[in-house]
Structures are given as C-alpha cells and as structure tokens.
Amino acid sequence: MKQYAGVDLARAGDADLRAALKKRNVADADALSGAKLIDEVFKVYVEPTLVQPTFVLDYPIALSPLAKPKRDDPTRVERWELFVQGREMANAFSELNDPEEQRRRFEQQAGFRATGDAEAHQLDEDYLRALEYGMPPTGGVGLGVDRFVMLLADQPNIRDVILFPMLRPE
C-alpha cells in the first residue's frame, strides 16, 4: 500500500485513504470508512499490480469477521489471499471459534450494515449457539475452478466462464 498508493497504513487515517481514492477518481470514496477504505485502496492501487502469484496476508479484522485474530497483532486476522494476473484466485483463513468474540464482531458488522454496507454480515444466533457448544480449530481454502478458468481463458469477468447459463445476463 505504501509503495503503490503512497499510504502508510500504520499512520494513515480515513482522510488520507479517501484522498488516495480521489486521485484515481473513485466516485464513492466519501461513502466508505475504516476497513472498507483500506480494501478499496488495495483494490484500486495494489491488486492490478499483482501479476506474479502473490500471497497477501494480514487483513484488517473488520474485513474478516469470521477469521481468528493473529496471535501477535489483534488488529489483523489469520487470512491470506492468492492473486495471479491481478485477480484473486484463492482465499483462506483460520475460523474464529470463540463465541463471545464472534458475537462482538457480528454486532460490529450489524452497525456497518445499518450504515449502508450491504456486504456486512448479519447477526446469526444459530451460528453463535453452535459455537457455544464448541467448535474445534478449523480453517479453509476457497479456490474456485471458475477463477482458474478465468485465468486460463484470459477473461476479465467471471460470468464469461460460468457453466450455469441461468447466472448469465441475457
């Protein structure tokens, strides 16, 4: 982020991130805040430069409400994404299994949703109840074949490679 956007995340505030987005004429920069600003600056400045296979680590906790916090930095989570040719190819994280912390994060996400963030998670009482019974340490990796086909076929839109025609716009 520092190299491509000129933003030092350790010191930058929302105003600095918005200013970086406005330099690239991002229309909705004023509507974003916090971790969403960081994510947008990453998408606009850094993601297109990740041509060689690159693992991106240390995501902000607010962007990954289901992931475990890093042991040495509680503001980040145990998550990585693989980027190739400027596209996300895989996403993985260690799942949070602390029901009290998960409730706090869901409540924070509900606040984000109330202010217009449609991607924010909703509070899920059934999931929280299941966590209270106990969940062993778990993690997962999402690697979509469709994203791999996008890379091989040099297609910029996932809809161009999906095999299910009902998902294609007519």
Confidence of residue 103 (pLDDT cuts 50, 70, 90): very high
Percent of the chain at pLDDT exceeding 70: 96
Query: Where do the H-state alpha helices sit in the chain?
Result: 2-5, 14-23, 34-41, 99-114, 125-133, 145-153
Query: Model's pTM, two decimal places?
Result: 0.78
Tokens in use for 10?
């350790």
Cα 162 to chain centroid, rounded: 22
Encode pLDDT of 106-162 as tens digits.
998 888 888 877 778 889 999 999 999 988 888 888 887 888 888 888 887 777 887
Average pLDDT over residues 41-58: 93
- Across the range 79-92, mean pLDDT stands at 90
Query: What CA–CA distance (Å, rounded) separates 62 from 119?
Result: 12
Tokens of 99: 């029901």
